[in-house]
Structures are given as C-alpha cells and as structure tokens.
Amino acid sequence: MLKTHDRYPYSPIIGRQPYHWPGAKRLAVYIGLNLEWFSFGDGLGAELAPGGPQPDVLNYAWRDYGNRVGVFRLLGLFDELRLPVSLLVNSAMLQHAPQAVLPFMARGDEIVGHGRTNAERQGQLAEADERALILEARDALTATSGRAPAGWLGPWISQSAVTPDLLAEAGFRYCLDWCHDDQPTWMKTRSGRILSVPYPQELNDIPQIVGRRREGDEFADMIVDTYDVMIRECLDRPLVMGIALHAYLVGQPHRFKHLARALRHIAGSGADLLWLTTAGAIADHAIGLAPGVVPE
C-alpha cells in the first residue's frame, strides 16, 4: 500500500457544488508578499549566485535589499493600484525591520504568520520545538498588530507530519502550504479541521526567478497569462489565483517594471467577475459556506 497523509481525499474540481465569492464574483485574486529575515553567517536563504564561505555577504546583502528598498517600491505600486495585500511575515522582521511591516498594518492589510525566519525549516524540528516556533511567531505578530493571524505559511513551505495539527491547536483557521487546488479545501487535523487556501508554486517568483532562472518579463507574462485563462474558467466554477512575491526579487527595478505591467493588467481589466482580496478574506468566505460546499 502507498502511504497517504489522510488530510484530505482526492476530489476532482469538476462536479463540485457551485458557489460564488462575495458580490457574485467568480475569480478571487490575492497577492502574497513575503517579508523575510535571515541569519547572518549561517542558515538557509535563496541565492543570487552560488554561495561562498560564510559569512556569505553577497547573498545576505542581496536579500537585505528587499527589506531596505524593494518593499517600499512595491508598497507604492500597491497604493497606486489600491491593491490589498496578504503580508507573509517572519516574526524576526518585527525586531529587525519593523519599518517595513508597519506601513502595511496602517493600510489595513492582512498579516499572515510565516515562521520566525526563513533561515530555518520548521518541519525538521521535534514536535515540542515546532509548537514553540508557531506560538512564538503567532504571539509576536499579535502583539504588534493587535490581532492574532488567522493564516500560516511555513518558511520554505516546510511541514512536519503534525504541522496542520499544531496550527489548528494554536488557533490558525487556514494554511497556505498545500498547493494542490484552485479552490479552498478542508484538511483534517487531530482536533478538528483547518482550511487550505490555494498558494501558488508556479506563480511564485522564487521557483521561477531563482529556481528556473526566468527573468521579470517572463514572470510578468505568466501572471497575465494565468489571469487571462482563469477569468474565463471562473465562469464554470469559483477560483483562487494567488501571486507569491518576495521584495528582494520583484522589488529590483528591472523586475518591478514588468510586475507593475502585469498587476495593472489585472487591476485595470474592469472584469465584473474579479475580486481583488486577501487570503484571509477568501478563507473567511469559504469557512462561512454551508456544510459540504467546500470539499474535504
């Protein structure tokens, strides 16, 4: 027998119960902006160039550019286009670079838990240590924002066998780690259930720009092409389109130009079926639907 996670059964997207997003919208589009802090001289981190001996100043400083410069370039674009943001925050950002986080809180954007730092993977920890990590990050974000985060994305999409259980027990209502669908789905936990909201691994600047060596123009074209396909497909069923961004990648000027083009294409489309929103608002609506509508 093949092993299974037993979190959710197979469910083809065709034939599911129909529903709408608020206001009879059909395509929910959200931006997931990752703000991450890294340990100097050790730990994990994306690389602009093959890393040398520690301290790896080249790659550390490249990532630091996102928190010092790139994030504010993106903030200006989001203000211009009046785009809401789901801010996926390492809690270490609150200690080391709070000025990069606070403007999004002032805008009323959603704050999503994203671990302590992307210099570590939580899935490698013992259960007690992973629980402590989740609670530490949750409590730090709550203390700063005044509201407990409802959603979670693990650093490096890292989960252990018990992560969904620990998240539900810590009060999280949804997670973004499982990138298996274009609609929200329920996942079983040992204390009930937690909602999985679609988060993209294809429409994500790290796998594309760092992993596949695509550049900003190609990544922007992917965003436009995805939107153009899904705004047609949503006539048949409600869909979620997430756009995953990192300030040290698309906050670079030569990539920012193309990202701006792609986001203007979406925001300026005038599509009646489009809902520009946050991951948390998507979760809230899905959780409020009648039992059995959201697959589990």
Structural domain includes residue 251: yes
Helices (H), 161-236: 163-169, 205, 216-233
pLDDT of residue 52 exceeding 90, the answer is: no
- CATH (domain of 262): 3.20.20.370
Say which amino acid occupies 284. Answer: D
Q: Which helix (H) or strand (E) holds 196?
A: strand 192-196
The predicted model gives 161-174 an average pLDDT of 98
pTM of the model: 0.97
Say which amino acid occupies 26. Answer: R
What's the token pair of residue 89? 């925050």
The total number of structural domains that make up the chain: 1
Residue 242 phi/psi, 5° resolution?
-100, 150
Between CA 195 and CA 173 the distance in angstroms is: 6
Structural domain includes residue 74: yes
What's the token pair of residue 118? 């992307």
Structural domain includes residue 6: no
pLDDT band per the 50, 70, 90 thresholds, residue 13? very high
Residue 84 belongs to domain spanning: 22-40+53-287
pLDDT band per the 50, 70, 90 thresholds, residue 157? very high
**According to the model, what pLDDT value does residue 257 have?**
98
Structural domain includes residue 113: yes
Between CA 62 and CA 191 the distance in angstroms is: 42
**According to the model, what pLDDT value does residue 70 have?**
98
Q: Which helix (H) or strand (E) holds 87?
A: strand 86-89
Between CA 255 and CA 266 the distance in angstroms is: 17
State the CB neighbour count (10 A cutoff) for residue 175: 26
Tell me: the pLDDT tens digits for 192-213?
999 999 999 999 999 999 999 9
pLDDT of residue 40 exceeding 90, the answer is: yes
Structural domain includes residue 2: no
Query: Burial letters for 65-76: b for 16+ Cβ neighbours within 10 Å, e otherwise?
Result: bbbebbbebbbe
Structural domain includes residue 46: no
pLDDT band per the 50, 70, 90 thresholds, residue 38? very high
Between CA 280 and CA 25 the distance in angstroms is: 16
Helices (H), the chain: 57-65, 71-81, 92-96, 102-107, 127-145, 163-169, 205, 216-233, 247-250, 253-267, 279-287
The predicted model gives 134-160 an average pLDDT of 97
Between CA 54 and CA 28 the distance in angstroms is: 43
Between CA 32 and CA 200 the distance in angstroms is: 9
Between CA 91 and CA 51 the distance in angstroms is: 25
Structural domain includes residue 15: no
* Among the listed residues 113, 97, 105, 110, the one whose alpha carbon sits nearest the alpha carbon of residue 63: 97
Q: Is the peptide bond preceding residue 12 cis, with omega within 30 degrees of 0?
A: no
Query: Burial letters for 8-40: b for 16+ Cβ neighbours within 10 Å, e otherwise?
Result: beeeeeeebeeeebeeebbbbbbbbbbbbbbee
DSSP type of residue 25 = B
Between CA 55 and CA 145 the distance in angstroms is: 33
Structural domain includes residue 12: no
